[in-house]
Structure 1
Amino acid sequence: MTSRSRFRSARLALPLALLAMAASQAIPAAPTDAPPAPSSTGRTTAPRDTEIASDRAITTEVRARLANARTLDPAKIRVSTTDGVVKLEGTVRDDKQRNMAMELARTVRGVTAVSDELRAGTD
């Protein structure tokens, strides 16, 4: 074998050896991305605190805020919460009170959406 042919075979052997070494080493798994957050048409537009709060605690806080509002009658508003979605049912005097009740509920920690089932006017 001539020196030139030995040089060619050595030149081809080196990349093949490097390729074999790379293939034999473990390749770490790619990190998985977090699943995207579900969207809902009832979600509030402003980002909220994402700390998980229990539905019972959310309901209690919404009721307390409605009771502290001087212009609302909390006895006429029923509050329930399921998976962070607050449902307001009952009657209020006018649309101004409806908007106030909705905003009070939206600002409670853990609330992801507010379902407005309030009726304006007297029954």
Structure 2
Amino acid sequence: MTSRTRFSIASLALPLAVLAASPAVQAAHQDAPAAPSSTGRTAAPRDTEVASDRAITSEVRARLANARTLDPAKIRVSTTDGVVKLEGTVRDDKQRTMAMELARSVRGVTAVSDELRAGTD
């Protein structure tokens, strides 16, 4: 190595050390997410599939039909962007609560809009 090469390397080492020690660089380094330890599966599988509105509506209707105490013919179901809208009539508040809970339990549902009337036919 020539003296000129040693001088160039030495002259770069100090500015790099100062830059690496700066608070902004340290903060950016600390905020960076840790690299995964392996390229395989994560420890907990993530459910990234989003159910379609049509599939959500079908599943809510099926669950309402399977509930023995509800009359699914009196409940209209529609879904927009994961929000299920229940319209129609039920016998009482207990049935209203049941219908709401059944709709909430469907995968992909983000909210349930209660437009049900209790006690009217």
TM-score range, shorter chain: 0.5 to 0.7
1:20 aligned partner, one-letter code: P
Once the two structures are superposed, the pairs formed by residues 43-58 of structure 1 within 5 Å of their partners are 51-58=49-56
Greater helix percent: which structure? 2
SS of the counterpart of 1:70? coil
1:107 aligned partner, one-letter code: S
Q: For the residues of structure 2 that align with 1:53 and 1:103, how far apart are their CA atoms? A: 18
State the Cα distance separating 1:51 from its structure 2 match: 3.6
Which ranges of 4 or more aligned residues in structure 1 deviate by more than 6 Å? Answer: 27-30
SS of the counterpart of 2:109? coil
Which among 12, 15, 25 is matched to residue 20 of structure 1?
Answer: 15
In structure 2, stretches of 5+ residues that fail to align are 1-9, 20-24, 34-46
Match of residue 111 from structure 2: 113
CA 50–86 in structure 1, closer or farther in 2 if over 3 Å, else same: farther
Structure 1 vs Structure 2 CA RMSD: 2.8
Greater gyration radius: 1
The number of aligned residues is 91
Instruction: Determine what percentage of the aligned residue pairs are the same residue.
Output: 81
Match of residue 98 from structure 1: 96
In structure 1, stretches of 5+ residues that fail to align are 1-13, 33-48
